[in-house]
Amino acid sequence: MDENFQTYLNRAMRMTLPETYHSQVHNIQESPKYHLHSDKGLEAQPFPGYTIITPPGDEDDAENQDLFTFLEAFQQQLLQQLGAEVFAPVPPSSFHITLADLIWDGAFRHATQDASFEVSLRDRVSQIFQECEPISEGKPIRFQALGVMVMTRAITICLAPVEEYAYERILKFRRALYQNQGLIGLGIEQQY
């Protein structure tokens, strides 16, 4: 996510083309976030770590209710087509946009051997949020759904900011995270 807005949109659009996700289906791997039970289907497993996300979908969020309703219906279509042993739906109340994956699983377990790690991580992330507050300009970021995107361990809806200034704000925020020497010192690396 270090390119200009138009290049990003072009790349994102390519990822949502049917021929792209048909070829990606062959690369899908089992997610460690779920375990297949013979009688229950896929069941969520604890998966420790830190990710920065937008506030999850909420019934009280009237402004985005149409989007959440669409996503829930689409998720049900996928479940019917793929089956519960292949596709694990998430509760609609957890729909969100991932802004930055920071650390998880083995790297997280290793880092937490230092008792001060989590406090240091939260302090640094909080400081970055405070430093980045002026770039928000008090304006919400609006997103548009581009299409389905098949990833190694997930099937998602690809969203993109509607306006270029919103893309730039997200880019600045991600750079503030991934280029922060304090976070780098804690073992945080940019994930792609």
Which sequence spans correspond to the domains of the chain?
5-54+99-185, 56-96
**Per-chain mean pLDDT for the chain:** 89
The span from the CA of 151 to the CA of 24, in Å, is: 7
Closest CA to 183 of 135, 98, 126, 134: 126
Summarize pLDDT for 40-92 with one digit per residue, the tens. Answer: 777 888 889 999 998 887 767 777 788 888 889 999 999 999 888 788 888 88
pTM for the model stands at: 0.85
pLDDT at 192 over 70: no
pLDDT at 182 over 90: yes
Q: What integer pLDDT is reported at residue 189 of this predicted model?
A: 86
Query: Phi, psi at residue 188, to the nearest 5°?
Result: -80, 125
Summarize pLDDT for 124-134 with one digit per residue, the tens. Answer: 999 999 999 88
Give, in degrees to the nearest 5, the angle at Cα 67 between 78 and 135. 125
Q: What integer pLDDT is reported at residue 1 of this predicted model?
A: 56
Helical spans, DSSP H, in the chain: 5-15, 18-24, 65-82, 105-111, 117-132, 164-178, 181-185
Q: What integer pLDDT is reported at residue 65 of this predicted model?
A: 81
